[in-house]
Amino acid sequence: MTSEPIPFLDLCTPHRELEAELLQLVQQAFRTAGFIGGPMLEAFERAFAEFCSTRYCVGVSSGTDALRFAPMAAGIGNGDTVVTVPNTFIATTEAITQAGAQPEFVDIDERTYTMDVDKLREYLETMCWPDSTTRSVISHRTGKRLAAIIPVHLYGQMADMDTILGLAERYNLVVIEDACQAHGAEYFSKRQTRSYTAGSMGRAAAFSFYPGKNLGACGEAGAVTTNDEELARTIRMLRDHGQAKKYYHEIEGYNGKLDAIQAGILQIKLGHLAEWNEKRRTCAQRYQEMLGSAEGIILPYEGSSGKAVYHLYVVRVHNRDELQRRLTAAAIGTGIHYPIPLHQQSAYRTLGYKRGDFPITERLAAEILSLPMFPGLTPAQQSRVVEQVLEFVGLTTAQAA
Ligand SMILES: *Cc1c(COP(=O)(O)O)cnc(C)c1O
């Protein structure tokens, strides 16, 4: 075969295109030795808050730190339970545990792959007791107060925030968005009759700028967005050893700052994010047109009123591993997000969940495959991917018939 390999994700091209500008930025940091804090960081924080339509953005050292600091700053910790989904990256639950709380799961929706809000309601009504003293609820399983919900805007699509926020109000719960895959995604709220950007609906939201995310640094980076001034202040302290003034430690914190050079790099790339997201959406539409009528494959579902930013393009097929092998043999990169649900991970054996507890997540884990998706993916590359996929599902559906 003479065809060029098709990467799952092309991180080289954007850096080649922006190289001169990025190098100049690094040089400027060298000349001023402004590596920690300072104007580059503050400028990026202002710009990203504006992009998300929030009042505050606090840069931190990773998405995981953002996910840890947000609940901590909201007073969630020892003796609390936090509910999230089992189909996510482990950082979501690491953050809950490391904040001192215990994670619990509800299953995902079979179409959107984000939190199933009917299951969330059922969980609140049947698996929690009302606690008359605090207007909140106590989880049967953990025997601890349920303090927060962390919905994950998976693959670039926002969870059903209207219902989640409604339930959170009723049960006195904090909502923290895991927006690590959803920079610039939008959700149309029927309650408020307006659109919201990811990161602006919860009490706070966590973003990751890991290199492969829709907005990625050249290393580790993350941020918390919020409209809550006090929360922003606390997170600024948490990322910097609990100090607002040097060597005056109001609380014990962490070393979780965002480097100035990374902030400067992110600021340059942020200028391209809207256009990159549009390109991802165009690629998704093209996949949809090329694969749309095929039997034996389930394509991503996007509700009519929101706007997904396709961090990943995830399809479902039977014999997924076989399709992945076929694509690998044709030099086409793929991924699986995620192969083992969190409740079945060895790390979470102590949570006491078993196979069958979250059937949608479990079924999906065996069937999902992430196809190449990045802003520079060309129609010709997509045709080659689609050709392989169609041949495969044609063969397997013929066998099944
Ligand atoms: C990437 C990611 C994280 C973690 O972000 P890091 O910057 O790698 O720490 C958390 N949650 C989700 C859903 C992610 O995709």
135 pLDDT band (50/70/90 cuts)? confident
Give yes or no for a cis peptide into 338 (omega within 30° of 0).
yes
On the question of pLDDT at 23 being above 80, the answer is yes
Does residue 62 have its Cβ closer than 6 Å to ligand 1? yes
Domain limits, CATH 3.40.640.10, in the chain: 12-268
- For residue 33, what is the DSSP state? T
Considering only CA atoms, which residue is closest to atom 7 of ligand 1?
Answer: 63
Give the pLDDT mean for 317-337.
97
At 134 the pLDDT is 76
Give the pLDDT mean for 19-47.
96
132 pLDDT band (50/70/90 cuts)? confident
Tell me the CA–centroid distance for residue 236 and ligand 1, in Å. 20
| Probe target for ligand 1 pocket from 208, 312, 336, with the most ligand atoms within 8 Å of CB | 208
Can you tell me the distance from the alpha carbon of 134 to that of 388, in angstroms, rounded to the nearest whole number? 57
At 396 the pLDDT is 73
Q: What confidence tens digit (pLDDT) does each residue in 259-280 have?
A: 999 999 999 999 999 999 999 9
On the question of pLDDT at 297 being above 60, the answer is yes
107 pLDDT band (50/70/90 cuts)? very high
Tell me the CA–centroid distance for residue 222 and ligand 1, in Å. 9
Q: Can you say whether residue 60 is alpha, beta or left, with left for phi > 0 and alpha for psi between -120 and 50 degrees?
A: beta
At 401 the pLDDT is 62
At 400 the pLDDT is 66
Q: What confidence tens digit (pLDDT) does each residue in 181-201 have?
A: 999 999 999 999 999 999 999
Q: What confidence tens digit (pLDDT) does each residue in 117-131 have?
A: 999 999 999 999 998
Atom of ligand 1 nearest to the CA of 209: 7
Q: What confidence tens digit (pLDDT) does each residue in 162-179 have?
A: 999 999 999 999 999 999
| Percent of all residues in the chain with a pLDDT value above 90, rounded to a whole number | 94
At 246 the pLDDT is 93
At 30 the pLDDT is 95
Tell me the CA–centroid distance for residue 205 and ligand 1, in Å. 12
Which two tokens mark 170? 């009723």
With beta carbons less than 8 A apart as the criterion, state whether 60 and 222 touch: yes
Phi and psi of 60, rounded to 5°?
A: -135, 180
On the question of pLDDT at 288 being above 70, the answer is yes
Q: What confidence tens digit (pLDDT) does each residue in 209-236 have?
A: 999 999 999 999 999 999 999 999 999 9
On the question of pLDDT at 1 being above 60, the answer is no
Computed over every residue of the chain, the mean pLDDT equals 96
Q: Which CATH class is domain 274-400?
A: alpha beta
| Probe target for ligand 1 pocket from 150, 181, 207, 266, with the most ligand atoms within 8 Å of CB | 181
| Percent of all residues in the chain with a pLDDT value above 70, rounded to a whole number | 99
On the question of pLDDT at 2 being above 60, the answer is no
Atom of ligand 1 nearest to the CA of 213: 1
Give the pLDDT mean for 44-59.
98
**What does the DSSP assignment read for 328-386?**
HHTTB--B-S-SS-GGGSGGGGGG---TTSSHHHHHHHHHEEEEP--TT--HHHHHHHH
At 289 the pLDDT is 96
334 pLDDT band (50/70/90 cuts)? very high
Atom of ligand 1 nearest to the CA of 222: 7
On the question of pLDDT at 84 being above 80, the answer is yes
Can you tell me the distance from the alpha carbon of 183 to that of 225, in angstroms, rounded to the nearest whole number? 11
Q: What confidence tens digit (pLDDT) does each residue in 339-366 have?
A: 999 999 999 999 999 999 999 999 999 9
At 136 the pLDDT is 87
| Span between the terminal Cα atoms of the chain, in Å | 31
Phi and psi of 235, rounded to 5°?
A: -65, -35
Name the fold adopted by 12-268.
Aspartate Aminotransferase; domain 2 (3.40.640)
